[in-house]
Amino acid sequence: MSVAFDDDVKACAALVHRADPDRFMAVMAAPVAVRPKLFPIYALNAEVARAPWVTQETMIAEMRLQWWRDALQEIAESGTVRRHEVVTPLSRVLSPHLAAQLDEYVAVRRWDIYRDPFEDQAHFDTYLDQSAGSLMVASAQVLGPADEGVLRDFGYAVGVANWLRAIPELEARGRIPLLDGTPDGVRALAQAGLDRLRRARVNAAMVSAQARPALYSGWQAEWVLRRAIAKPDRVAAGDMAQGEMRRRLSLMWTAARGHW
């Protein structure tokens, strides 16, 4: 199904460009035809990710997330969908099933509103699976056939990598992002992410060529995870970013090979 690159999609692209430069680059490395499908999903991600941080009032933050859940429910029920520059193009590309996946993604982001730590490893894993994992499922399956288990493995690995990159900011905002912030704890988390990445790649044939461009968004994950394993102290120091030249070249290489 082709989707027009209309004013709404252009607004989504502009939002992603401002809020999430890495995913913007990943979409621009994908074939032109798939960009109008990915930009609305990543624009939703940008809006949901910022909702808990734009106010100190927990009730208002809850209301912001509920607004997105209500919009996704409208899409899932295939009824009248509210007019909005992100919701409208989303309604053209999401199946009811994928709208439900993204509702799960929004719901779990309530953790971001509060300052409570994760209860245990299972709680942390569920958070990553239903946030990064569900986002990966929706963005890939909107393009083509792909096994959900493989996508969730890859999404978990990407989620761990992005989480490790965000640790200094999360701590500065008063959150407790890690169950075990010691070097050994950081190393173990990064290794768990790398193990899931390897498992996803073993089953790469279960992700169709059509769906593969959605996985370009995780092009830096292996580098970040290996860096955290080698020197976990870099996580707290915020030293987890690739240089600009390496970042661009590694994405070009990923897209040129069509691998992830």
Q: Tell me: the pLDDT tens digits for 232-254?
A: 999 999 999 999 999 999 999 99
The whole-angstrom separation of Cα 242 and Cα 222 is 12
What's the mean pLDDT in 147-152? 98
Look over the chain and give the mean of its residue pLDDT values, rounded to a whole number: 96
Judged on CB neighbours under 10 Å (0-12, 13-18, 19+), 130 is buried
pLDDT over threshold 60, residue 1: no
The whole-angstrom separation of Cα 202 and Cα 27 is 24
Phi, psi of 136 (to 5 degrees): -65, -40
Among candidates 148, 53, 54, which has minimal Cα distance to 98?
Answer: 148
Please report, as a single letter, which amino acid is at residue 183. P
pLDDT over threshold 80, residue 149: yes
H/E segment holding residue 213: none
pLDDT over threshold 90, residue 224: yes
pLDDT over threshold 90, residue 61: yes
The whole-angstrom separation of Cα 230 and Cα 211 is 32
The whole-angstrom separation of Cα 6 and Cα 12 is 10
The single-letter DSSP state of residue 30 is S
The single-letter DSSP state of residue 133 is I
State the pLDDT at residue 2: 61
What whole-number percentage of the chain has pLDDT above 90? Answer: 93
pLDDT over threshold 90, residue 78: no
Q: Which two structure tokens, joined as six digits, stand for 170? A: 């999360």
Inter-residue long-range contacts of 164-173, CB under 8 Å, 24+ positions, other chains counted: 164/189, 164/190, 164/224, 164/225, 164/228, 164/235, 164/240, 165/224, 165/240, 165/241, 167/235, 167/236, 167/238, 168/236, 168/237, 168/238, 173/53
- Taking CA atoms, 234 is separated from 164, 186, 187, 241, in Å, by 10, 10, 11, 10
State the pLDDT at residue 187: 98
Mention every residue, 6+ apart, whose C-beta is less than 8 A from residue 171: 177
pLDDT over threshold 70, residue 147: yes
3-state DSSP call for residue 258? coil
pLDDT over threshold 80, residue 144: yes
